[in-house]
Amino acid sequence: MSQLDSEQEVAAVRAFNRFYTRKLGVLDQHLLKSPFSLSEARVLYELAHRENLSAKEIGAELGLDAGYLSRIVQNFDEAGLITREPLPSDRRQYRLALTAKGRQTFAKLERSTQDEVAAMLAKLPQDGRARLIGAMAEIERLLGESGGLPSPAVLREPRPGDMGWVVQSHGAFYAREYGFDSSFEGLVAEIAAKFLASFDASRERCWIAEIDGAQVGSIFLVRYTDDVAKLRLLLVEPAGRGQGLGHRLVAECIAFAKACGYRKITLWTQSILVAARNIYQEAGFKLVATGPHRSFGRDLVGETWELEL
């Protein structure tokens, strides 16, 4: 990387920091028009959510200078927001706790924070909110204690509400990335509804991938004939990329199909879905048919792929 590239990256990060701190309203030294600075609000948050904390532990957790934290604690004590009790193990250290007044003060600040963030999100469309939360999660993973490595995805069976997520995420993703219209979301809804209505647990499966409790991927294997299974609705959201999740989902389908006694897996995709096509090809699928068609508001080339088991 050249020095110019590095300087541009640093400038981009600093520009984002300036934008976001201005958006949160912390540049005037007070958080969301409250009497507290961002650091003071964080100290209140820790005291409200954890018990038996010492000032030293809070300082280490938040990365606050000992002198600065001491002034915060002194101000809170004088305002009647906290109690201080010397630790038996070290009389120089104090166990801190919120008073009733302190908890009321934090509750008011928490409500204001919730309202401000909710108002900010309400200005965005549903797709925009999902993208924002996903981008924030990605930033947290990259800059977190894991050293930039994302948490591994967990594969599980669908739960109530997951089919709605499958429909919404497919509709939003393909509209954003490929310009598909709402008819594609309608097709996904039909597939999901049919899966729920006629689900055969002995020969069909759906896997939902999640990272830290958030859905990031899906895939379905359904009965096509007694000998042939059909792979459908493979999706990996941007937040789930970088750990071979698409390959893993397809591998689960193949293993399950073999265990069920299917002789073949078939699937239908589009030529423009390059990443998905690569996954199928690397898993051993063969392209057996192609054909142009007009669907989802686009001129497309459909492809049928098959895997002999």
CB 240 within 8 A of CB 153: yes
Beta pairing class for 214-223 and 264-270: unpaired
CB 242 within 8 A of CB 152: no
Task: Give 67-96 pLDDT, tens digit per residue.
Answer: 878 888 888 889 898 888 877 766 677 788
Q: Which residues contact 207 (CB under 8 A, 6 or more apart)?
A: 155, 156, 157, 218, 219, 249, 252, 253
Give the number of other CB atoms < 10 A from CB of residue 309.
Answer: 15
Please state the domain extents for the chain. 31-123, 154-308
The two domains 31-123 and 154-308 share their CATH topology (first three levels equal): no
- Phi and psi torsions of 25, nearest 5°: 75, 40
At the second CATH level, the architecture of 31-123 is: Orthogonal Bundle (1.10)
Ordered alpha helix ranges (H), the chain: 3-24, 38-49, 55-62, 66-78, 100-122, 126-143, 162-178, 182-197, 245-260, 274-282
Beta pairing class for 228-236 and 264-270: parallel
pTM of the model: 0.55
- CATH for 154-308 is 3.40.630.30
What is the edge-to-edge ordering of all strands in the sheet holding 205-211?
Answer: 154-156, 205-211, 214-223, 228-236, 264-270, 298-308, 286-295
pLDDT digits (tens), the chain, 309 positions: 555 567 777 777 777 776 776 666 544 444 555 677 777 888 888 888 877 778 788 887 777 777 878 888 888 889 898 888 877 766 677 788 888 898 888 888 888 777 777 787 888 887 777 777 777 777 777 776 555 555 788 899 999 999 999 999 999 999 988 999 999 999 999 999 999 999 999 999 999 999 888 899 999 999 999 999 999 999 999 888 878 889 999 999 999 999 899 999 999 999 999 989 999 999 999 999 999 999 999 999 999 999 999
CA 33 to chain centre: 30
